[in-house]
Each structure stands twice: as structure tokens, then as C-alpha cells.
Amino acid sequence: NAGVMQNPRHLVRRRGQEARLRCSPMKGHSHVYWYRQLPEEGLKFMVYLQKENIIDESGMPKERFSAEFPKEGPSILRIQQVVRGDSAAYFCASSDGTANEKLFFGSGTQLSVL
């Protein structure tokens, strides 16, 4: 399966712990997006990365959240000191970076903060 792979599928954390969400883009894609979705709400843009570079992080909270996409390995969305309000589905998408920017999504990580 050469699709976008996200893991874990479900992640449970207690308040104050750290959450690390991983995303491997589709083969041949070098652009990764992270979105957050609350129940019954739309996708909220968080961050857009290319290999080793953050291009746009305007949707990501300034504190506790960080993202990276290293030269080797998956993209990581890291949430430090999680709070209950961080509970959501986090979707990663990848693209090949061409002008029409079609996004292909992973199955998402459902984060639950107890």
C-alpha cells in the first residue's frame, strides 16, 4: 500500500503527557499537511511542511505544538503537555507539490486526552 500512512490510529494520553503523531507521505510526495478535526466540525489547517522545512505553520498553536519533516523518516506532529481540548482527529495529507495541489489523506490519528 503506497498510500499515506499514519500511526498510531488511536492514541490515549493523560493530561500533561506528550503525544507524538507520525505520518509517512505517499511514495514520491515531499509535501505534508497536518489538519485537526473536532467532532461535527471541518478540517482546520495546522501546518504545511516540505522535507526539512516548515512552509506555513499559521494554523498551529504557538505553545506546546511542533511539527517536523526530517530528511529521513516520517513527519512528526508533537503535542507537549496535552490538555483535554487537544482531543481530536488529526489528519495528515501529502501532495507532490505541483500547482494543482491534490491532497491525499491518511486514515488519521484519534487522540483522546483523559
Partner 1 sequence: RKEVEQDPGPFNVPEGATVAFNCTYSNSASQSFFWYRQDCRKEPKLLMSVYSSGNEDGRFTAQLNRASQYISLLIRDSKLSDSATYLCAVNEGYQKVTFGTGTKLQVIP
Q: Which residues bind partner 1 (CB under 8 A)?
A: 31, 33, 35, 41-43, 45, 48, 55-56, 58, 89, 91, 93, 95, 97, 99-108
CB of 113 to partner 1, least distance (A): 18
| DSSP one-letter code for 73 | S
Smallest gap from Cβ 18 to partner 1, in A, equals 24
Looking at beta carbons only, is 50 or 81 nearer to partner 1? 50
d(CA 13, CA 35): 19
DSSP line for 15-66: TT--EEEEEEPPTT--EEEEEEE-TTS-EEEEEEEETTEEEE-TTS-SSSEE
**Of 17 and 57, which has the nearer Cβ to partner 1?**
57
Query: How far is it, in rounded angstroms, from Cα 24 to Cα 53?
Result: 16
Report the nearest approach of partner 1 to the CB of residue 48 (Å): 6
Q: Which is nearer to partner 1, 17 or 104 (CB)?
A: 104
Minimum distance, C-beta of residue 81 to partner 1, in the bound complex (Å): 27
- 89 exposure class (CB count in 10 Å sphere: 0-12, 13-18, 19+): middle
Q: Which is nearer to partner 1, 3 or 17 (CB)?
A: 3
